[in-house]
Structure 1
Amino acid sequence: MAHVSIRPTATLRAAATRALHTQTLPSHASAPIALSLIRAQPSQYIIASLAGRKYLLTPRDLLTVPRLKDVKVGDVLKLSDIHEIGSREYTLRGSPTIPPEQVRVEATVVEHTKGRMEVIFKKKRRKGYERTVYHKQTYTRLRIGPIDIVENPSS
């Protein structure tokens, strides 16, 4: 049986350093510390609920959701149901959501559009019943703005 030695490489050291960041913090102090750590990272993401579904979003994303009837092109929507915020190294999950005072994200309505033509063919065998229905689903497209992490939520 041959002797195999394992030497720490750069990737193993990076994994070990990354593992240090994933340690849990005390619950009473974890949110402000985690938010400051996430704010220091170069890029962030959020998981937010919009139109009844959860989406993973980053700044400048173009999001297509089912038609929002009460908005016009150019309207700015404030995303309030944010479930998670994170970066490459850190993540903060809400229970169930993160308070809107801590994270601000806006979405601008870019357009109202329709999807591709759907063909629905209905038939009852041996009855002579055949119908063809054509349908286009309506959608609203949103541009996600910057993710603003508030430094001191009490102010």
Structure 2
Amino acid sequence: MYAVIKTGGKQYKVAAGEKIKVEQIAAEVGQEIVIDQVLAVGTGAELKVGTPLVAGASVKATVVSHGRHDKVRIFKMRRRKHYQKRQGHRQNYTELEISSVSA
């Protein structure tokens, strides 16, 4: 059984036992959270799609860790204009381990 969930403005396809990195969630390490924004639930060939959410569906996950992704370097330049700009960014994330998917 798998589900498509929405968190942090992004969509993720998850199944029980998987680990995913999502946008940072305000939760302690080891805490179990329930994600109720489930867009679709599937088992094999059967797929239940919500409008926009599947009623009564939820995903339980445990917070494994918090961290920061690798640095993304931004470099802007205008040739012959003596303009260069360097910038970097590291996005925070929360790693979740999916424990169960319920429809």
Query: Shorter-normalised TM-score: what interval?
Result: 0.7 to 0.9
Stretches of structure 2 lacking an aligned partner (at least 5 in a row): none
2:7 paired with 1:50: yes
Deviation at 1:57, TM superposition (A): 0.9
Alpha-carbon distance in structure 2 between the residues aligned to 1:130 and 1:89 = 53
1:42-121 correspondence runs (5 A): 44-68=1-25, 70-100=26-56, 103-121=57-75
Alpha-carbon distance in structure 1 between the residues aligned to 2:89 and 2:76 = 13
- 79, 92, 96: which one aligns with 1:125: 79
Alpha-carbon distance in structure 2 between the residues aligned to 1:135 and 1:79 = 28
Secondary structure at the counterpart of residue 71 of structure 2: strand
- TM-score normalised per structure 2: 0.82
Structure with more of its chain in strand, by fraction: 2
User: Which residue number corresponds to residue 20 of structure 1?
Assistant: none
- 138, 143, 148: which one aligns with 2:92: 138
Give the aligned length.
103
Q: Structure 1 pair 126/135, CA: closer, same or farther in 2 (3 Å)?
A: same
Stretches of structure 1 lacking an aligned partner (at least 5 in a row): 1-43, 150-155
- From the CA coordinates, give the structure whose radius of gyration is larger: 1
Q: Structure 1 pair 134/95, CA: closer, same or farther in 2 (3 Å)?
A: closer
Identity of aligned residues (%): 27
Structure with more of its chain in helix, by fraction: 1
Alpha-carbon distance in structure 1 between the residues aligned to 2:102 and 2:62 = 15
Alpha-carbon distance in structure 1 between the residues aligned to 2:49 and 2:85 = 49
Q: Structure 1 pair 124/97, CA: closer, same or farther in 2 (3 Å)?
A: same
Deviation at 1:88, TM superposition (A): 1.0
Alpha-carbon distance in structure 2 between the residues aligned to 1:47 and 1:85 = 7
Alpha-carbon distance in structure 2 between the residues aligned to 1:109 and 1:91 = 27
- TM-score normalised per structure 1: 0.58
